[in-house]
Structure 1
Amino acid sequence: MIKTTATRLRGRIFPEIQWTTEQKAEREAESEAFYQRCYAIFDRVKAELIATHYNWFIAIEPDRGEYFIDRDLEVASLQCREKHPGKLHYTFRINESGACGSI
């Protein structure tokens, strides 16, 4: 018996949206640039925050350079979204690597 996925049964969900290779590359470059802007802020404050808030979360809004910290990932993100509605933010864990989990 052949197993099929729901996507194969339904087809593409949005077949009218077909990104070119250039559009995909542009999107990836924008994402990387956004990450680098956020990481620069994280890297600047990481040393002082590790001493007092180790393994907490930090949500960073790079346009204003503001950040919000909390023990709970959702609370930190919510604080950032409330202060800057409609703006993107990036979340790191306050530790040596900034990673929120491991594989």
Structure 2
Amino acid sequence: MAEVKPTRTARRGRIFPEIQWTEEQKAQREARREKFYQRCKPIFDKVKSELIETHYNWYIAVEPDSGEYFIDKDLEVVSLQCREKHPSKIHYAFRINETGVCGTI
């Protein structure tokens, strides 16, 4: 007797409706992101010169309120380390190199 397999139909499209942002909301979000970046960048700049020699192209996650930072080769690991220590805080991740970014556009 042949086994009958149920057929599944694949879902198409998004489960959730798209968020419609106004230009003002986009500008406010970008301003908040830039302000947060400006709080994290000095901490990164302070330790970058000593870390660039030993941990080149690793990742660093900075939590600006405490001034703490976490370093690892893997971006996921460094983010988890920061979230474990500061679960309710947002962190910013940099790449330990001359520019602090992962690549170019």
The structural deviation recorded for 1:20 is 3.6
* Structure whose CA Rg is larger: 2
Counterpart amino acid of 2:80? L
Q: Provide structure 2 residue ranges, at least 5 long, that are not aligned to the other structure.
A: 1-11
Work out the CA distance in 2 between the residues paired with 1:53 and 1:92. Answer: 12
Secondary structure of 2:61's match? strand
* Counterpart position of 1:75: 77
CA distance, structure 1, for counterparts of residue 74 and residue 28 of structure 2: 33
Q: TM-score, normalised by structure 2?
A: 0.78
Letter paired with 2:17 = I
* In structure 2, distance between residues paired with 1:94 and 1:72: 12
1:24-50 Cα offsets, whole Å, 9 max, x none, are: 222111110001111111111110110
Q: Residue 23 of structure 1 is aligned with which of 5, 21, 25?
A: 25
Task: State the distance in 1 between where 2:22 and 2:104 align.
Answer: 32
Per the TM alignment, residue 71 of structure 1 is displaced from its structure 2 partner at its CA by 1.0
- Per the normalisation by structure 1, the TM-score is 0.79
1:55: which partner in 2? 57
Paired positions, count: 94
Is structure 2 residue 46 aligned with structure 1 residue 44? yes
Identical positions, percent: 70
Displacement after TM superposition at 1:99 (Å): 0.9
RMSD between aligned residues: 2.1
Tell me which residue corresponds to 1:95.
Answer: 97
* Aligned mates of 1:63, 1:100 — CA distance in 2: 24
Unaligned runs of 5+ in 1: none
Q: Structure 1: how far apart are the matches of 2:76 and 2:22?
A: 34
